[in-house]
Amino acid sequence: MFLVTGATGGIGRRVVRLLRQQGKSVRAFVRLTSRYSELEHRGADIFIGDLLREKDIDKATQGVEYIISAHGSGSDVLSLDYRANIELIDQAKAKGAQHFVFISVLGADRGYEDAAVFQAKRAVEKYLINSGLNYTILRPAGLASNLLPLAEQFRETGLYLLVGDSKNRSSIVSTDDLAKIVVDAVTLTGARNQIFSVGGPEILQREDIPHIFGRIFNKEPIVINPPILLIDGLRTAIGLFNPQTQQALGTYRTLLANEFFCTKEEIANLEKTFNFQLETLESFLRRYLAV
C-alpha cells in the first residue's frame, strides 16, 4: 500500500493516477474540503484528515509500505513543510515502511535564509537521511503544470508578467515526468538513498517562456517586466499587519531572484537512472493546451 500526501496537488494527483494505472493500492491523504472525486473514481482509498493533526498521520500510515510526501504548505511552513514531514518519517519508521519519497525543492541546500520553505525542506531532508529508512529525495525545479493558468491567460490577452531578471535560468520540469520519477523511485535500486535534482531537458531563461507561449498560440508576446523591488515594497507593507504572508513572499522573492536550473550532468544522470527521456516544456504545454 502506498500513502500519498498532497494527493490533490499538482504532483500528488499525477502520482495517484500513475499508481492506479499500474494497479497499485493507494491511500490518498486528502482534506474534507479537497477536490478528490477523481482520485476516488480511479480506485484510490480516500483517507480524510489534516496533516496538522498527528493523530491523522498516525492513522493514515497504518499498514503502509511506501510513503510519498507531496503536500504543500500554503503559508504554514513550520506545521506542514516541517512538522508534518517529521511526523510522517517517525510514523514510517515505527510502522516498518519500506521506502519514503520526499519532494524537496531545487536549491534546498543553498542556505537561503529568507525562504522558510527551503529551510524546512533541508531540515526534513537531513532528518530523513538520518532516519534509517530507505529514501529518495527529489529536488524539482519549477513545475510545468504551474504555467498552465498563465498560458491560458496568455491565450486570451497575449500578456506575460515577468517580475525581476528576465535572464535568470531555470529547468522547468514536466509534472508528468516528475510523477513517473516519484513512482519509479521506490523500485529502482539506483534511486535508493539518493538525492536527485529534477528538471526538464533544457535550460531556459525566464524570458524564453513568453516566447514559447507565443509560438504555441501564434501570438507576439507583450512582456510586462517590473523590477524585483516591487516584491520588496509589497513585503514591507504587508509585513506591518501580516507576518505569515510576509514570510511567504520571502520564499517567492528567493524564487524570483535566483537561478534554479539543473546541470547537463544532473539531467543525464536522471535520464540514465530512470531510463526515459525527459519532455520539454513546449511539448508538455502543447499536450495540455491541445494545440
Ligand X SMILES: NC(=O)c1ccc[n+]([C@@H]2O[C@H](COP(=O)([O-])OP(=O)(O)OC[C@H]3O[C@@H](n4cnc5c(N)ncnc54)[C@H](OP(=O)(O)O)[C@@H]3O)[C@@H](O)[C@H]2O)c1
Amino acid at 100: F
Q: Could you tell me the smallest distance in angstroms from the CB atom of residue 254 to ligand X?
A: 12
Report if residue 105 touches ligand X, rule: CB under 6 A. Answer: yes
Does residue 140 interact with ligand X by CB under 6 A? yes
| Residue 270 within binding range of ligand X, rule CB under 6 A | no
**Of these, 18, 24, 25, 31, which contacts ligand X (CB under 6 A)?**
31
Q: Answer yes or no whether residue 179 interacts with ligand X by CB under 6 A.
A: no
Question: Residue 238 corresponds to which amino acid?
Answer: I
With a CB cutoff of 8 Å and minimum separation 6, the contacts of 280 are 174, 200, 201, 202
Q: How far is the CB of 110 from ligand X (least distance, A)?
A: 14
Quick check: 37 binds ligand X (CB under 6 A)? no
| H/E stretch holding 244 | helix 243-257
Quick check: 200 binds ligand X (CB under 6 A)? no
Please identify which residue in 2, 3, 4, 12 interacts with ligand X, judged by CB under 6 A: 12
Name the 3-class secondary structure at 40.
Answer: helix
51 interacts with ligand X by CB under 6 A: yes
Q: Are strands 66-69 and 2-5 parallel, antiparallel or unpaired?
A: parallel
Q: What kind and span of H or E run contains 2? A: strand 2-5
| Total H helices, total E strands in the chain | 12, 11
- Which residue stretch of 140-148, 151-159, 179-187, 240-248 sits at the interface with ligand X (rule: CB under 6 A)? 140-148
To the nearest 10 degrees (0 to 180), the angle between helices 148-157 and 208-217 is 60
CB of residue 236 vs ligand X: minimum separation in angstroms? 25
| 70 near ligand X, judged by CB under 6 A | yes
Q: Does 9 bind ligand X (CB under 6 A)?
A: yes
- 266 binds ligand X, rule: CB under 6 A: no
Torsion angle of C-alpha atoms 210, 164, 106, 265, degrees rounded to 10:
60
- Report the nearest approach of ligand X to the CB of residue 220 (Å): 27
Strands 169-170 and 204-205 turn out to be antiparallel
User: Could you say whether residue 80 binds ligand X (CB under 6 A)?
Assistant: yes
Please give the size of the binding site for ligand X, defined by CB under 6 A: 23
To ligand X, the closest distance from the beta carbon of 121 in angstroms equals 7
Q: Is 236 exposed, middle or buried (0-12, 13-18, 19+ CB in 10 A)?
A: exposed
